[in-house]
Chains A and B, each alone.
Chain A
Amino acid sequence: MRADLLTDAVEGLDEALAAVDGFDEVLVGGLLRPQPGQAAGLAGLADAVAGSPLAGRVAEAAEKTAAGAADEDHYMALAAARTALLGSVHDALVARIEEAVGRPRAEEPAVGAAGAEHPVNLLVAARGWLCDLARAGWQGIDHELIGGAAPVVTAMLPEPGLRRLATLLDGFAAELAASCPGATLERVPVRRWADLWSRAMLLTLPGADRATAVGEATGRLLPLGVDLHEHATAVQAQVHAVFEPADGGTPRLVRASVSAPKPDTVVGAGLWQLLRPHMSLLTAVSEGRAMELDAMPVTAEGDLIWDEAHAAQGEPAEPFTTARVALPTAAAAPVAPVDRHPARIAVPVLLEGYAVEDEAEGVAFRIAGERLAVDAGRVPAAGPLTADAVASSAACVGLLRWDAGEFRLQPLAVERTVRKRPVAVQAGAWAGGTADKAGVRAEKAATDAVNVLRERAGRLLRK
Chain B
Amino acid sequence: MRVVPSARPRKLAKVPFVELADGRLQGVVSSGSDIGRVYVSSVEAGTYAFSCSTNNNRPCGGARGAFCNHIRALIGEAVLQYGAERVARYLKVDVAGEQADAQGLTSAMTSTRPAQGDRSAAAQVFSRFLRHLAYLEFAPTTAPVPEMHWFPTTGAVA
Contact = CB atoms under 8 A, between A and B. Distances in A.
Contacts of A14: none
Contacts of B126: 460
B86 A178 contact: yes
Interface string A199-223: 1000100000001000000000000
B145 A199 contact: no
A424 to B, nearest CB: 19
- Interface residue tally on B, bucketed by range: 35 or more
Contacts of B136: 262-263, 266, 450, 453-454
B142 A279 contact: yes
24 contacts: A160-B141, A163-B143, A168-B147, A199-B147, A228-B152, A231-B2, A236-B145, A259-B148, A262-B136, A266-B136, A267-B7, A274-B140, A279-B142, A377-B155, A378-B154, A381-B156, A404-B1, A448-B11, A449-B12, A450-B136, A456-B16, A456-B30, A459-B37, A460-B126
Nearest to B138: A261
Given A178-B4, A199-B150, A450-B136, 19 more contacts: A157-B135, A157-B138, A167-B148, A177-B21, A178-B86, A228-B152, A229-B148, A231-B2, A258-B142, A264-B7, A303-B143, A307-B142, A377-B152, A449-B9, A452-B16, A454-B136, A456-B30, A457-B130, A460-B38
Contact of A303 (B82, B132, B144): B144
B146 interface: yes
Interface string B78-91: 00011000100000
Contacts, number: 207
A397 interface: no
Q: Which 8 A-B pairs have the closest CB atoms?
A: A229-B148, A260-B140, A306-B142, A456-B16, A168-B147, A231-B151, A236-B148, A452-B12
A164 B147 contact: yes
B109 interface: no
A183 B138 CA distance: 35
Contacts of B156: 377, 381
Given A175-B4, A381-B153, A457-B133, A211 B144 contact: yes
A452 B144 CA distance: 30
Interface string A179-197: 1000000000100100110
Main secondary structure of the interface of B (DSSP, over half): loop
Nearest to A445: B9
A143 interface: yes
B56 interface: yes
A346 B149 CA distance: 9
Interface in A122-181: 143, 147, 154, 157-158, 160, 163-164, 167-168, 171, 174-175, 177-179
A72 to B, nearest CB: 21
A238 B144 contact: yes
Nearest to A233: B135
Contacts of B142: 256-259, 278-279, 304-307
A160 B153 CA distance: 23
A61 B147 CA distance: 26
Contacts of A69: none
A234 B138 CA distance: 11
Contact of A265 (B2, B12, B139): B12
Contacts of B96: none
A344 interface: yes
Given A379-B155, A380-B153, A460-B28, A268 B9 contact: yes
A258 B141 contact: yes
A404 to B, nearest CB: 8
B140 A267 contact: no
Contact of B153 (A163, A228, A278): A228
Contacts of A456: 12, 16-17, 28, 30, 38
A234 B132 contact: no
Nearest to A376: B155
Contact of A230 (B21, B131, B153): B153
Interface string A295-325: 0000101011111000000000000000000
A255 interface: yes
Contacts of B146: 164, 339, 344
A81 interface: no
A462 B82 CA distance: 30
Which of A189, A454, A459 counts the most chain B CB atoms within 10 A? A459
B3 A175 contact: yes
A376 B152 CA distance: 11
A230 B149 CA distance: 9
A463 interface: yes
Interface in B62-112: 81-82, 86
Contacts of A10: none
B138 to A, nearest CB: 4
A232 interface: yes
Given A143-B23, A452-B12, A268 B157 contact: yes
Interface string A338-351: 01000110100000
A275 interface: yes
Contact of B36 (A171, A189, A275, A459): A459
Nearest to A278: B140
A271 B8 CA distance: 13
A244 B102 CA distance: 56
A410 B20 CA distance: 33
Interface string B102-126: 0000000000000000000000001
Nearest to A346: B149
A379 B156 CA distance: 9
A428 B22 CA distance: 37
B12 A167 contact: no
Contacts of B129: 457, 460
